[in-house]
């Protein structure tokens, strides 16, 4: 219903003088009607899509296990960084299925294509679109799962949330979605390496009951080549063989087991992270716990630190030969007060046994009928060997995002050299040429 406003003469307008000549007509103030249409209040909407990660280095993943393909959009990547598909393919190959007998037999090359954001071999600062086609789908393997829920899988909860779901391959709940994380993670690792010589490395430290003893891996010297020297991605050859044997044993029985991935960060710039809600370890926890099959997160001394006293747990400070403030121990895991202190950042991520197994299990259908289900499809008997590059990717994305935040807030103006260090590591010219 429209409302009307009637205009009136301006205040202070001169009234017509009756003594004036009769041929002068009195001014006429005809009322003016202005119609105003009622405004429609827009509904407040909550954006809860859940497919975008990061604030400044923003990654949105897309695609499903048995759709046309999967990929990501990377927004906020700094310009003028050399980048090609080959840079991403290294980590995608570490993640891809069918790479060994202890992974899913699904055969995918996971060959990536960059459709935008790169020109003449360098990033342009605009969104980077990475796409990987699906080539080995077997939708018929999921016929039983279209009516029945796999125990401990996301089938039931997707129906509870959306009222509909992509049955084949688990849709978005499939680990195939992580291609859209590993690709931008490779970009993030390249930025960190180029800017501050920061390295992000992860390895398998436990498979079921085979646990790598504390201190058996030197975090100061362990290399990617040592991690990649065997199919389970454990840098200790003796324990790697035990882990592989454990996975082989459960694989032949049609069952699955879980494990732990340890991740370290060397040469992390000091000052990353913010107090209170955006502490660096909190951001890292959210990132890695968003990966499929994750069930636990430990940082620094983790739960074992609860068995120590304060005098036993505290990391005492000292000044090294270069005049830098360091800690003699690293039970804090490289972060204190939610902010990186320059020591090695270390964390551990627990992964549950793969939910889909080749054993009969009790479940219910969508019609709430109790039945016995034998799930089909191709699945990892243990996810941790392929989870290694996934963990690295999420950690690297957090660090780049925090690096950009720190640069924007605390390094926009000259730093206090008595208390702060530059974020970047200025390499000698000969080292820059060989990177």
pLDDT in tens, 161-188: 888 887 766 778 888 899 999 999 999 9
Residue 217 has which token pair? Answer: 């891996």
Q: What local confidence, expressed as pLDDT, does residue 99 receive?
A: 84
Task: Enumerate domains of the chain plus CATH numbers.
Answer: 52-411 (3.60.150.10)
pLDDT, residue 406, reads 95
Give the global pTM: 0.85
DSSP 65-107: TTSSEEEEEEESPPSS-B--HHHHHHHHHHH-TTSSTTS----
Helix, strand, coil share of the chain (percent; to 5): 30, 20, 50
DSSP type of residue 352:
P
> Do 266 and 201 contact (CB within 8 A), yes or no?
yes
Give residue 18's pLDDT: 42
| Residue range 270-294, pLDDT digits in tens | 999 999 999 999 999 999 999 999 9
Alpha helices of 102-196 — where are they, by DSSP H? 155-162, 179-196
Place of tokens 């291609």: 179
Residue 68 confidence (pLDDT): 86
Q: Which residues of the chain have pLDDT under 70?
A: 1-48, 137-145, 168-169, 377, 425-435
Q: Count helices and strands (H / E) in the chain.
A: 9, 20
C-alpha angle 311/315/318, rounded to 5°? 120
**pLDDT computed for residue 101 by the predictor:** 87
């Amino acid at each position: 219903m429209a409302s009307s406003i009637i205009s009136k003469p301006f205040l202070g307008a001169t009234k017509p003088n009756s003594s004036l000549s009769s041929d002068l007509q009195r001014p006429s103030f005809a009322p003016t009607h202005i119609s105003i249409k009622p405004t429609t209040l827009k509904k407040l909407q909550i954006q809860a899509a859940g497919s975008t990660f990061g604030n400044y280095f923003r990654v949105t993943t897309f695609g499903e296990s048995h759709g046309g393909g999967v990929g990501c959009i990377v927004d906020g990547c700094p310009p003028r960084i050399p980048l090609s598909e080959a840079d991403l393919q290294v980590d995608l190959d570490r993640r891809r299925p069918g790479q060994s007998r202890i992974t899913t037999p699904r055969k995918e090359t996971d060959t990536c294509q960059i459709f935008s954001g790169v020109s003449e071999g360098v990033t342009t600062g605009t969104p980077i679109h990475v796409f990987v086609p699906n080539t080995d789908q077997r939708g018929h393997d999921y016929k039983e799962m279209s009516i029945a829920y796999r125990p401990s899988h996301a089938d039931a909860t997707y129906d509870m949330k959306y009222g509909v779901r992509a049955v084949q391959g688990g849709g978005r709940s499939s680990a195939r979605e992580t291609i859209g994380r590993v690709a931008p993670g490779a970009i993030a690792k390249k930025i960190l390496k180029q800017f501050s010589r920061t390295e992000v490395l992860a390895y398998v430290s436990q498979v079921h009951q085979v646990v790598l003893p504390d201190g058996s891996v030197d975090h100061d010297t362990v290399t990617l080549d040592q991690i990649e020297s065997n199919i389970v991605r454990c840098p200790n050859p003796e324990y790697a063989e035990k882990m592989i044997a454990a996975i082989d044993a459960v694989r032949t029985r049609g069952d699955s087991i879980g494990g732990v991935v340890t991740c370290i960060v060397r040469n992390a710039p000091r000052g990353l992270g913010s107090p209170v809600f955006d502490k660096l370890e909190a951001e890292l926890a959210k990132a890695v716990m968003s990966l499929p099959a994750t069930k636990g997160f430990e940082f620094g001394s983790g739960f074992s630190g609860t068995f120590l006293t304060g005098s036993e747990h505290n990391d005492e400070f000292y000044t090294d030969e270069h005049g830098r403030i360091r800690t003699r121990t690293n039970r804090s895991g490289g972060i204190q007060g939610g902010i990186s202190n320059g020591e090695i950042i270390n964390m551990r991520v627990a992964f549950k046994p793969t939910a889909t197994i080749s054993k009969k299990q009790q479940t219910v259908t969508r019609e709430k009928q109790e039945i016995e289900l034998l799930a089909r499809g191709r699945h990892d008997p243990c996810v941790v060997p392929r989870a290694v590059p996934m963990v690295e990717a999420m950690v690297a994305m957090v660090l780049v995002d925090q690096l950009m935040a720190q640069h924007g807030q605390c390094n926009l103006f000259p730093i206090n050299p008595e208390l702060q260090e530059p974020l970047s590591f200025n390499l000698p010219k000969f080292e820059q040429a060989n990177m």
